[in-house]
Homo-oligomer: A and B are copies of this chain.
């Protein structure tokens, strides 16, 4: 799935054309013909990108935009604004109010598609920034959450640190001593076998629904993340 796109645009012909073409490209698309309703539906739909007409019957594009940026669930939702020729003034206002890109009507679908790809690509890195990812395993250091294939996994503090440690250098094998030194607070004395128990707990937590084992035992050496 390439992503979900929401369209707010009052010209039905444009909506139809764009929606059809985007769906053909593999996007999931939903749309609304006016601002107020659009805002509500959009928040239910949770798109990855919004195509927003600047001249709507009820709300102005700016109002829609501001509303979205105020809502913390959507404040980083990429927005491409659709503007009629000659609305240069508005373009500037648009960019100032947090729009990511704009395109002037009439536009070709190819042009729009290119912009969408660019904006989606640009907006990607911010998602990655604080996340450690390995295969279908994701650990968010800021939110302190762990996911396996998008299912959230509950970990105790030690298991969290342990997994964080493995994720920094996947595939690398660490001895029990190395693990102890890094994962446990300094000056703490714990039995080396204690690590085995925590490894077991971590394994149990992240090996959900029969997914493949992610922690490898290297006999006489230690453990590694696959």
Contacts and interface: CB of A to CB of B under 8 A. Distances in A.
Most buried by B among A114, A142, A168: A142
A130 B75 contact: no
A122 interface: yes
Contacts of A101: 129-130
A125 B72 contact: yes
Copies of this chain held together in the complex: 2
Given A129-B118, A130-B101, A141-B95, A69 B172 contact: no
Given A114-B126, A141-B92, A73 B134 contact: yes
A88 B133 CA distance: 15
A71 B133 contact: yes
A125 B115 contact: yes
Interface in A104-162: 111, 114-115, 117-119, 121-126, 129-135, 141-144, 156-157
Interface of A: 69-73, 75-76, 88-89, 91-92, 95, 98, 101-102, 111, 114-115, 117-119, 121-126, 129-135, 141-144, 156-157, 164, 167-168, 170-173, 182, 218-221, 224
10 contacts: A69-B129, A72-B167, A76-B118, A98-B121, A101-B129, A114-B125, A117-B122, A118-B123, A144-B173, A157-B219
